[in-house]
A and B are shown apart, each in its own frame.
Chain A
Amino acid sequence: MTEREERRFAEVPRESIKLMAESTGVELSEEVAALLAEDVCYRLREATQNSSQFMRHAKRRKLSVEDFNRALRWSNTETVCGYGAQDALPFRPLKEGELFFVEDREINLVELALATNIPKGCAETMVRGRAGTGSIMPTAVQSLSEDLLKYYQQITRAILGEDPHLMKVALLDLQSNSKIAALLPYFVYVISGVKSVSHDLDQLNRLLHMVKSLVQNPYLYLGSYVRSLVSSVMYCILEPLAASINPLNDHWTLRDYAALLLSHIFWTHGDLVSGLYHQILLSLQKVLSDPVRPLCSHYGAVVGLHALGWKAVERVLYPHLPAYWANLQAVLDDYSVSNAQVKADGHKVYGAILVAVERLLKMKALSLTLAAGGGSAGLPGTTTGAVGFRENSPGLSPPPEPLSEPPLGIASHLQAGGAGCQWEEWTPVSLPAMYCELYSFFGDSLAVRFSTDPPLGGAPSSRSCQPLEGRKEPASGAPNLENTRKMPQLTASMNISPRQDGSPRMEPQPPSLAATVPGRSLARSSSSSSSVSRSRSSSSRPGRSTSQSRDIFPKARFPLPQAGPPAFSFIIGGRQMGRRCQGRRFQTSFTPTPPLNTLPPRAYAHKLPVIGRVSKPVRRWTCSHYSLHLPL
């Protein structure tokens, strides 16, 4: 009697009712069917409404068949059996007619009963408590959501998979996705898998790319995971990968890329890796000084050092070079066929070293130029290596980045982080001396490149006749300049030239001890600052040394200039007290290349810093620094 127009709920059509009645052999009139249909609908709704309370009390959001059955049972109606499964029942349409049905497959009970793969019981219900304080709780409680898990799977699959295009997309997303913080540990874990794929350059490469993407993602805070990433990268740089056995594999590029990545991490995440710097230098050095290691590892160490900046090269590679050179030379000189491959590798290493030291020289020169250039006196000449720029900082941690490179964030952190850990014996070498020594190894191949650097060439000649004044001015000026350009700590480590005035601005930095060498006719001595730059944390040191320098400088200043061919005298100050008495003195005039034989007999092997002896050198320094300035 009523048409169902405005109803807001599903209805059982009267046709269905009639059909069902017919199936049981009852003929229904239209009117009865309509009434019945309406009643059935009502009863269904009622049962559904009643069943919802069971859902609510079971604290669920989803109404289950069970709930509905309970409602039926409580209203004394037969329950509906066979639909208790947790999963949704597939509801299928039949194409031919407008018929929908629930799929109901037959189950072979015999087969099921005799099946041998007995399903394991589901895991036992258990309670796990996770605590979080205040705002931490949300993350503490979280495990991965479904979506994130999916994302993770997709990304790793794409990156490690075959399709280069997919990989690119995945990497790009990894680099820019802001919501993957929760996945970071998982990715880091994946990346740490480098060790298991050392035979597969391709995979290694992909993993490194993954590192790069993660590092570049501005939304990710790497936190302590950066260590894991760095160790993975270091693995690629240093390890004699299984892939390197085959000379056809271009593992060199991989190492280069890893080194690049390493430097990138240090540049962009300096705050996180500060503590790592020394460790890494150490491990690089260890590899380098271990002749048993294959050349490809050495190559890795060299490019790694190169990547860490010229200071790293200066402090690790350069001192070690003489010792290493002998080995390398041996390899390169062996023309036997069996050695061909090794020799080729040796050339690689040779090239890498060359590149590294060239940059070292350039940067060092440049730093001096800059330092001197800023000087009020504008002594052009002082700039040259002659300044005898020393970086003599035990505690002064890592060499900061090259001057030319702008981002300067690292040094400070490194400084801070590495405060406690001092390098033991390390004496800076003046630029000319360095150049000489390097020249002795590389010969013209070095000189050629170096000579392109103008300041060096011109420098010696332009050396002024009032070197000491000159020296002094730039000395005070240079730090200023540096200050403006770099972070203060950095300057500290630069520590160019004597800073007799102990400029207050420089306070934090280790004072430099200026030693003058009022030589004989030879004019000024450049004294280099042997700064004790131990970490500023080291107590009395700075004050003392500054005062020292103040005392000393006047002396140094006056015995002045006699014009003569410009020449430098260097004193190896500071840390090498043991040898100080021997007056490790270089006298070199720049215009003519110093003859090789002037090279000091260096005990290269002993120069390697020994890590971990933190306080000792300082103490030694304390008692010996007066003698540092002995006039030569």
Chain B
Amino acid sequence: MAAVQDGPMELDTEKETKPEILSDGTSKLSGNTASGTLSSSPLTAGGAPKQEDQQTLIAVLQFLRRNKLSESVEILRREAGLEDQEDSQTLDGSGGGKGDRDGGEANSLLSRVSITSAAAPQSTLTPITVKRANEQLDVSVVLSAYSQQGDPSLYQVYYSGLKNFIESVLDCHRAELSQLFYPLFVHMYLELVYNNHENEAKAFFEKFGGDQECYYQDDLRVLCGLTKKEHLKGNEVLLDFRTSRFVLRISRDSYQLLKRHLQERHNNQIWNIIQEHLYIDIFDGMPRSKSQIDSMSGSFAGEARREVNKVKVFHGLLKEPEIEVPLDDEEDEAENEEGKPKKKKTKKDSMGSKSKKQDPNAPQQNRIPLPELKDSDKLDKIMYMKESTKRIRLGPENLPSICFYSFLNAYQGLTAVDFTDDSSLLAGGFADSTVRIWSVTPKKLRKVKSAGELNLIDKESDDVLERIMDEKTASESKILCGHSGPVYSVSFSPDRNYLLSSSEDGTVRLWSLQTFTCLVGYKGHNYPVWDTHFSPFGYYFVSGGHDRVARLWATDHYQPLRIFAGHLADVTCTRFHPNSNYVATGSTDRTIRLWDVLNGNCVRIFTGHKGPVHSLAFSPNGKFLASGSTDGRVLLWDIGHGLMIGELKGHTDTIYALKFSRDGEILASGSMDNTVRLWDSTKAFDDVETDDFTAATGHIHLPDNSQELLLGTYHSKSTPVTHLHFTRRNLLLAAGGYSSQ
């Protein structure tokens, strides 16, 4: 043990405090703004000890002072008085921190309990805004961990010693211990680079770079271009690697084996790295097989710790509050075939008998405050009901018809598409920073009349809603100009009154579909905003961008209500859970995280993708999540258990669109490879559930049944599929820009 401890402790502590402080600061700010809308939410007890908070505060103040932000200093001081009571909105850090401690305790061998617990929040919390503004400070701190060094010439010996050892152990352990190769390799290489042993680093890379798993190739490519200490400073990818502790899951037996080996050999160098930069999540039981490991690995920071995914997630659906109609209960819908007026009554009756409240997984109705339904919303709900009675029941024998909307002459580069829920409008975001809206139905798009003209209208008349529209402006499509960079995503509000667009210019804009003007520009990301998505109940929306955080906004607040920080790279896609209580984000760090809207905690981390995640879709019942990435695979996740339950292989290029049919029987995926594929999601979910569920360990053995699940492949002609949408009757709409090349 003593040998393990000889790292420079002061440096460690120093490095750990500051980044954490900074990030906590941001979360505090966000917490304050959030209290306006989410005041009803119970505040969770933060995990961070008080002492740390103090340190945090001091550090932030120092930082602000150094940057001559005296006003901010003042504000923060004022806030500091309240701060102890308002220990709210801790981000992922609190959860992570706790989990860490548990892990540490479980793992008495890694005796640095206090240090790990302190280091963990730092590892997961590095909002880039802060880091960038403050690169000098941050980087030197982070990298200083490498200042300890052994003999550079011995690195190869160390590594190959370990390699020989791992290759000689029993098969069942070898797969598990092989997980060590990649993180060790990277850390040793970086250590060499950091200490200016350029030649040794190159030789080291040359010798062992080829051994690494193929799905790390992208990272290795970045790595091999990096040979100077100076380069380390600006490289975010590697910063991530340093700042986060690579998580490995290893069975206790394998771990003992490794430990014994390293102690026998007195291989301190490697042991140090394991201690400092890796987090070994030890479990009791059978060692995992190679395929099990491969299916879960691939992300920047290794697998998710098991503890992270233990939090209870209320994935059930909300009861429809106003009209007493359960939204997604088809049986009820099928029951009443009468017309509109009777519908409500029968609904209410049926509601009395079988109450959906019994869904144990549903969150409290008022867990997060939701906007009240307007009359128009109720009408729309009724329309929805009517439509869904005519819905086609899909299945393997009954595939949906597909209608493909091609964007022609899209020289501006189509980057994003969205349909309204009732499939009446279509919006496209373009690289020339415009947003265009088309009416898909014969009904034309009209603006509301100007204020002066509106004054002349008889407000008492029955058709006032019709009268306010300006017939002269009727057209099939409208252009919305306002962004100053490519528009990367668009999202309609459920009531079709608003449209959100996010852009490279760092803003999210809210557009009115009544006047076709921009209402608000939400600034906060400061870097390109890759994705934005409206809550299924409207009012809230989430955005994620290059600054590695996702933000939760309310349309009437110009500042975010929550900041979801924790991803190690860009947040590429964001989706609301159907019950609006959770937000899923996919990232370039190849993980998917699920965040609790209520308290901002990260409640799930899903690893397994081998490339940036570019599309997400929740199943309509809220139980499952599908994700697609650049590696052309779709992964299916069980949210409740926090498990990967399926892998759909077939696409040959990035999957940009995923959508479940209205009843959840079919999953449609659309890709850059110009195909739409349909998958039997019912079977995919059932196949797993019938297995003996290894929920306890989370080591699921995935059946390789993509081919059986694939129900159809439909090619478009040089038109990448950008968006997919199921109409209320289960017709599949696909959209993409025709590219002539």
Q: Are A125 and B198 within 8 A (Cβ)?
A: no
Contacts A125-B411, A127-B438, A141-B404 aside, 4 further interface pairs with beta carbons under 8 A come to A8-B221, A56-B654, A58-B431, A127-B428
Shortest Cβ distance from B199 into A: residue: A2
Shortest Cβ distance from B735 into A: residue: A127
Is B570 in contact with chain A by the CB < 8 A criterion? yes
Is A128 in contact with chain B by the CB < 8 A criterion? yes
Is A619 in contact with chain B by the CB < 8 A criterion? no
Are A138 and B431 CB-contacts (below 8 A) given A42-B231, A57-B528? no
Is B271 in contact with chain A by the CB < 8 A criterion? no
Is A407 in contact with chain B by the CB < 8 A criterion? no
Task: Report the Cα distance A138→B734, complex, angstroms.
Answer: 13
How many whole Å from A131's CB to the nearest CB in chain B? 4
Q: Are B228 and A145 within 8 A (Cβ)?
A: no
Is A469 in contact with chain B by the CB < 8 A criterion? no
| Interface members, chain B 654-669 (any A CB < 8 Å) | 654, 656
Interface stretch among B108-116, B443-451, B712-720? Answer: B712-720
Are A129 and B410 CB-contacts (below 8 A) given A56-B612, A138-B714? no
| Interface members, chain B 568-594 (any A CB < 8 Å) | 570, 572, 588
Contact string against B for A residues 48-77, beta-carbon threshold 8 Å, 1 for contact and 0 otherwise:
010001101111111000100010001000
Q: Are A132 and B438 within 8 A (Cβ)?
A: no
How many whole Å from A10's CB to the nearest CB in chain B? 11
Q: Are B717 and A8 within 8 A (Cβ)?
A: no
The contact of B235 among A46, A58, A127, A137, by CB within 8 Å, is: A46
Q: Write out the residue numbers on chain B whose beta carbons fall within 8 Å of the beta carbon of A41.
A: 225
9 contacts between A and B (CB under 8 A): A2-B199, A57-B488, A57-B528, A61-B672, A122-B409, A126-B409, A131-B402, A132-B401, A138-B714
Task: Report the Cα distance A376→B112, complex, angstroms.
Answer: 110
Are A127 and B413 CB-contacts (below 8 A) given A53-B588, A134-B712? no
Q: Are A8 and B406 within 8 A (Cβ)?
A: no
Q: Are B436 and A125 within 8 A (Cβ)?
A: yes
Task: Report the Cα distance A45→B413, complex, angstroms.
Answer: 25
The contact of B413 among A58, A129, A138, by CB within 8 Å, is: A58
Is B161 in contact with chain A by the CB < 8 A criterion? no
Task: Report the Cα distance A2→B197, complex, angstroms.
Answer: 12
Q: Which of B406, B430, B735 has the most CB of A within 10 A?
A: B406
Contact string against A for B residues 413-428, beta-carbon threshold 8 Å, 1 for contact and 0 otherwise:
1111000000000101
Q: Are B226 and A42 within 8 A (Cβ)?
A: yes
Task: Report the Cα distance A53→B236, complex, angstroms.
Answer: 14
Shortest Cβ distance from A61 into B: residue: B672
How many whole Å from B479's CB to the nearest CB in chain A? 9
Task: Report the Cα distance A238→B546, complex, angstroms.
Answer: 73
List the 5 closest A-B pairs by CB distance, nearest first. Answer: A131-B403, A123-B409, A133-B401, A142-B717, A137-B714
Shortest Cβ distance from A128 into B: residue: B406
Is B722 in contact with chain A by the CB < 8 A criterion? yes
Is B405 in contact with chain A by the CB < 8 A criterion? yes
Q: Write out the residue numbers on chain B whose beta carbons fall within 8 Å of the beta carbon of A98.
A: none
Is A143 in contact with chain B by the CB < 8 A criterion? yes
How many whole Å from B398's CB to the nearest CB in chain A? 9
Task: Report the Cα distance A2→B202, complex, angstroms.
Answer: 10
Is B150 in contact with chain A by the CB < 8 A criterion? no
Q: Are A127 and B403 within 8 A (Cβ)?
A: no
Shortest Cβ distance from A133 into B: residue: B401
How many whole Å from B654's CB to the nearest CB in chain A? 7
Are A42 and B228 CB-contacts (below 8 A) given A132-B714, A134-B399? yes
Is A78 in contact with chain B by the CB < 8 A criterion? no
The contact of B426 among A45, A127, A138, by CB within 8 Å, is: A127
Is B56 in contact with chain A by the CB < 8 A criterion? no
Contact string against A for B residues 28-70, beta-carbon threshold 8 Å, 1 for contact and 0 otherwise:
0000000000000000000000000000000000000000000
Is B530 in contact with chain A by the CB < 8 A criterion? yes
Task: Report the Cα distance A457→B231, complex, angstroms.
Answer: 108
Q: Are B410 and A125 within 8 A (Cβ)?
A: yes
Task: Report the Cα distance A58→B414, complex, angstroms.
Answer: 7
Q: Are A56 and B614 within 8 A (Cβ)?
A: yes
Q: Write out the residue numbers on chain A whose beta carbons fall within 8 Å of the beta carbon of B718.
A: 145
The contact of A2 among B198, B235, B719, by CB within 8 Å, is: B198
Shortest Cβ distance from A50 into B: residue: B236
Task: Report the Cα distance A38→B411, complex, angstroms.
Answer: 38
Q: Are B405 and A58 within 8 A (Cβ)?
A: no
The contact of B630 among A42, A56, A60, A123, by CB within 8 Å, is: A56
Q: Write out the residue numbers on chain A whose beta carbons fall within 8 Å of the beta carbon of B741.
A: 62
The contact of B504 among A54, A131, A133, A138, by CB within 8 Å, is: A54
Is A130 in contact with chain B by the CB < 8 A criterion? yes
How many whole Å from A196's CB to the nearest CB in chain B? 31
Q: Write out the residue numbers on chain A whose beta carbons fall within 8 Å of the beta carbon of B235.
A: 46
The contact of A135 among B221, B712, B735, by CB within 8 Å, is: B712
Shortest Cβ distance from A49 into B: residue: B222
Q: Which of B409, B440, B630 has the most CB of A within 10 A?
A: B409
| Interface members, chain A 91-130 (any B CB < 8 Å) | 122-130
Are A137 and B228 CB-contacts (below 8 A) given A56-B630, A125-B410? no
How many whole Å from B405's CB to the nearest CB in chain A? 5
Is A335 in contact with chain B by the CB < 8 A criterion? no
Shortest Cβ distance from B570 into A: residue: A53
Q: Are A59 and B656 within 8 A (Cβ)?
A: yes
Q: Are B415 and A132 within 8 A (Cβ)?
A: no
Q: Are A130 and B403 within 8 A (Cβ)?
A: yes
The contact of A129 among B403, B485, B715, by CB within 8 Å, is: B403
Are A59 and B720 CB-contacts (below 8 A) given A54-B504, A137-B714? yes
Task: Report the Cα distance A227→B648, complex, angstroms.
Answer: 46
Is B412 in contact with chain A by the CB < 8 A criterion? yes
Q: Are B401 and A131 within 8 A (Cβ)?
A: yes
Task: Report the Cα distance A526→B472, complex, angstroms.
Answer: 86
Task: Report the Cα distance A291→B715, complex, angstroms.
Answer: 56
Task: Report the Cα distance A2→B198, complex, angstroms.
Answer: 9
Q: Write out the residue numbers on chain A whose beta carbons fall within 8 Å of the beta carbon of B408.
A: 123, 125-128
Q: Write out the residue numbers on chain B whose beta carbons fall within 8 Å of the beta carbon of A140.
A: 404
Is B407 in contact with chain A by the CB < 8 A criterion? yes
Q: Write out the residue numbers on chain B whose beta carbons fall within 8 Å of the beta carbon of A2.
A: 198-199, 202, 227
Q: Are A132 and B202 within 8 A (Cβ)?
A: no
Is A6 in contact with chain B by the CB < 8 A criterion? yes
Is B224 in contact with chain A by the CB < 8 A criterion? yes
Q: Write out the residue numbers on chain B whose beta carbons fall within 8 Å of the beta carbon of A141.
A: 404, 406, 714-717, 719
Q: Are B228 and A38 within 8 A (Cβ)?
A: yes
Shortest Cβ distance from B402 into A: residue: A137
Is B234 in contact with chain A by the CB < 8 A criterion? yes
Q: Write out the residue numbers on chain A whose beta carbons fall within 8 Å of the beta carbon of B14.
A: none
Task: Report the Cα distance A113→B555, complex, angstroms.
Answer: 47
Shortest Cβ distance from A44 into B: residue: B225
Task: Report the Cα distance A125→B224, complex, angstroms.
Answer: 44
Q: Write out the residue numbers on chain A whose beta carbons fall within 8 Å of the beta carbon of B546.
A: 53, 74
Is B185 in contact with chain A by the CB < 8 A criterion? no
Is A39 in contact with chain B by the CB < 8 A criterion? yes
Q: Which of A38, A66, A123, A125 has the most CB of B within 10 A?
A: A125
Is B527 in contact with chain A by the CB < 8 A criterion? yes
Task: Report the Cα distance A494→B630, complex, angstroms.
Answer: 69
How many whole Å from B550's CB to the nearest CB in chain A? 15
The contact of A9 among B225, B410, B438, by CB within 8 Å, is: B225
| Interface members, chain B 369-421 (any A CB < 8 Å) | 399, 401-416
Shortest Cβ distance from B653 into A: residue: A61
Contact string against B for A residues 1-44, beta-carbon threshold 8 Å, 1 for contact and 0 otherwise:
11000101100000000000000000000000000001101100
The contact of B224 among A1, A8, A62, A123, by CB within 8 Å, is: A8
Task: Report the Cα distance A56→B614, complex, angstroms.
Answer: 9
Is B206 in contact with chain A by the CB < 8 A criterion? yes
Task: Report the Cα distance A39→B227, complex, angstroms.
Answer: 10
The contact of A125 among B228, B412, B654, by CB within 8 Å, is: B412
Are A46 and B199 CB-contacts (below 8 A) given A56-B612, A57-B528, A125-B412? no
How many whole Å from A63's CB to the nearest CB in chain B? 13
Are A130 and B404 CB-contacts (below 8 A) given A42-B231, A57-B415, A141-B715? yes
Is B486 in contact with chain A by the CB < 8 A criterion? yes
Shortest Cβ distance from A70 into B: residue: B504
